[in-house]
Structure 1
Amino acid sequence: MKKLTGNGLWESSRMMLFEHRDALLNKKAERQHKAHPVLDEQHANMIAEQISEAYREQHPVQLRIYGEYEDSVISGIVTKVNPWELKVQIDGHWVPLADILEISLDM
């Protein structure tokens, strides 16, 4: 009878199915997932203008890039701009304009 007191019924059974473990891990990963922020039009235009200026003048820039779980930072010189695909190339890495959250000109 002591086994069934309190939470004893579940305390005695410590086994977990693989499906349950996977479901718990998936829920944990979903909680850490960030939604893609929507920039207002003025902020997006400011970013585009600064990228254009950095491309013309060959100034180094530092970009904060959206990531599903964590934002990243890329530094370098804008080497190419693709206005049809809305992408920017910085030191060999193509970055979609929609993923750029902040830009700072390193002068």
Structure 2
Amino acid sequence: MSKKLADNGLWESSRIILPEHRAAYLNLLKERHRRERVELDEQEKELISIALRSSYKHRVPLSIQMYDPFETLRVEGVVNAIADLRGAFRVEDDWYQIEDIERVEKYEDW
């Protein structure tokens, strides 16, 4: 007799994964790799503000590490505009939130 028909083999060989279960499992795997937001103290926030304004005023290129829950996001370039009321800044044509900045460095390759 075949292994599949012996004991519990019939049920073992007929297992399927429903699309809803697969989606839930993939979401669970994705959520396990979620990054937490970094809490910055007031001194670090002030240094970030100085770096953004220096880039805007003196056209200094920056490398800015931004918060993203699932991947490493880095913005590189010169700050073109700062909107204090919106809490945002612009590099090239894209706007980013200032609260999402984790770290700012001078971009050495330019």
Same fold (TM over 0.5): yes
In structure 2, what is the Cα distance between the partners aligned to 1:3 and 1:41? 66
Shift of 1:14: 2.0
Aligned to 2:88: 87
Match of 1:100 in 2: 101
TM-score (norm 2): 0.80
Instruction: Report whether the alignment pairs 1:34 with 2:35.
Output: yes
Aligned residues: CA RMSD: 2.0
User: SS of 1:3's equivalent?
Assistant: coil
Residues 6-62 of structure 1, C-alpha deviations (whole Å, 9 max, x = no match): xx5863332122222121111112112222222122111111111112211111111
> 4+ residue stretches of structure 1 with deviation over 4 A?
none
Unaligned runs of 5+ in 2: none
How many pairs does the alignment contain?
A: 104
Give, in whole Å, the separation in 2 of the partners of 1:50 and 1:34: 25
Map 1:1-107; keep pairs closer than 5 Å: 2-4=6-8, 11-106=12-107
Give the alignment's TM-score, normalised by structure 1: 0.82
**1:64–1:74 Cα contact (<8 Å) kept:** yes
Aligned AA (1:52): R
Give the gaps of 5 or more residues in structure 1. Answer: none
